[in-house]
Amino acid sequence: MSLDFNAYSKENQLNPYPAYDRLRRESPVYYGDWGKDGKFWVLTRYEDIDGVLRNAKDFPNSLGPGLKGMTDDGRPFLVLNGIDPPDHTRIRRVIAPFFTPRAVESKEPLVRDVCNDVINSILASGNNPFDLIAEYANPIASAVIFDMLGVPVSLRERYKAWTEDYITVQGGQGGEKEKVNFRDFYDDAFLLMEERRRNPGPDLISVMVKAVDDEGLISEQEAHDNVMVMFVAGMETTEKLIGNAVVALVQNPDEYAKVLEDRSLIGSLIEETLRYDTSAVSIMRTAALDVEIGGQLIRRGERLMLVLGSAGRDPDQFPDPDRFDVERSPNDHIGFGEGPHACPGMWLARIETRVAVETLLDRMPSLSLDPGQFDESNRLQSTINRGFLHLEVQFDPALVSKRTTA
C-alpha cells in the first residue's frame, strides 16, 4: 500500500499522532526524501526504536536536521547529542555529577521557591488568563538552568533571548536578526567561560572550564558547544513538558480530579505525559552496517529518525495508548531516550516539571484552558521538539492560595 508521509508538514507537526498510527500499521520503517535535510528512514514502532537506542555500536549518534552548518566553518557542534564513545563518554563524565538523582534533588527547594515567586508575579500582574509558557514555564526552566550554569543575574535576560534565537536557528528558521543574535550568543559563550575562569564557583560552567584547564578531559571547543546546548536543553525541553502536562491534565477531567485528590500521582502524571505527549519528539541515528529492520534493508551510512512520540502511542507496548492515564503501570516509555545516549538531564526535568505542576495545582486548583484562546496552532512546528509557544490558561481568583512556601 502506498503511503505518502511528510514529516515536515504543518498538519503532522501540530498533531502527528494520526500519521504515527498509520505509519506503525502500514509502513513502520518508512523511507523518505526530505529535501535539504536529505534522505532518511523514519521508525515509529516502540520495539524497533528501543532496539536501535540500546545498540549504540551499530547505530551511532547522528546530528539531526538543522544542526549542521551552524558554525562559520560549517562543522557540527561537538555536543553530547551529536557524538559517540569514547568522546561522548569522556564529556558526559564531566557533567554527569550535576545530573544524578541525588544532585538534582538538592535543587528542589530552589525550584519550589522559583515556582512560588513566578505565581506571585502572575497574581500581582492581574493577568487572568495568563500565558502558561511565557509567564510560568519559561521563567522556571530558565532560572533553574541559569543557576546550575552559574550565569550572573545581570546577564540572564540576554541569554534567555539568545537561547530562543538559537532554537529558531537550530530549526532551520529565523531571519537575519536571529542569525546575528545566534552569532552573538556563540561568541559571548566564550566570554562567559572566561568570566567563570577568573571567578570560579560551584556551577557547571566552572567545572567544565576546570576540566579543560586543569584536567585536560575536554577541549575548549567541546566545553563551549555543550554549554550552549545546555542552555537550550535546560529551557526548551522542560518548559514544553510543563505545558504538555498541564494541557493533558485539564483536557482529561477525570484524571485531573484524581490528581487534585491525591498529589502523590503527580510523579506518575509526569511519566504519563512523557509517554502520551513527550516534548522530545525524535532523535537521529546512523546505521554503521547493513541491517534489516521491520523487513527493510537499511544500508550502512543511512540515517534513521527515531520517533519517540510514536513509540509512546504504540498499542503493542501500551494498552489503550491514546488514553491519558495518570495511574498507568507499568509505563516503560522512552520519552527521554534509552541506552548510553539517554538524556543526561532527565532527572532534573522530572523534578522541575513535578514541582511546577504541584505548585500550580496547590495555588490555582481551578486551572483551566481559556476556551477563547486555546489553539493547537500555537504549538512549535518542529520534528525535534513538541510543545506550545503560547498557552493561555485561566483560574478562579476566589480559589487561589496565597501561600508562598511549601
The yes-or-no verdict on residue 324 having pLDDT over 50 is yes
The yes-or-no verdict on residue 65 having pLDDT over 50 is no
**pTM of the prediction?**
0.93
Report whether 227 contacts 205 (CB < 8 A).
yes
pLDDT above 70 coverage of the chain, percent: 93
The yes-or-no verdict on residue 98 having pLDDT over 60 is yes
The yes-or-no verdict on residue 69 having pLDDT over 50 is no
CB-CB neighbours of 202 under 10 Å: 9
Instruction: Pull the grid cell for residue 117.
Output: 515567586
Quickly name the fold that domain 10-399 has. Cytochrome p450 (1.10.630)
Which pLDDT does position 2 carry in this prediction? 54
How far is C-alpha 119 from the chain's CA centre? 23
Which pLDDT does position 244 carry in this prediction? 97
Domain boundaries, the chain: 10-399
Report whether 307 contacts 49 (CB < 8 A).
yes
Cα–Cα dist 397/53, whole Å: 47
Which pLDDT does position 317 carry in this prediction? 98
Which pLDDT does position 177 carry in this prediction? 81
Report whether 225 contacts 237 (CB < 8 A).
no
The yes-or-no verdict on residue 188 having pLDDT over 80 is yes
The yes-or-no verdict on residue 382 having pLDDT over 90 is no
Report whether 233 contacts 170 (CB < 8 A).
no
Which pLDDT does position 384 carry in this prediction? 83
Which pLDDT does position 174 carry in this prediction? 65
Q: Please tell me the least confidently modeled range out of 13-17, 37-41, 110-114, 372-376.
A: 372-376
69: which DSSP letter? Answer: T
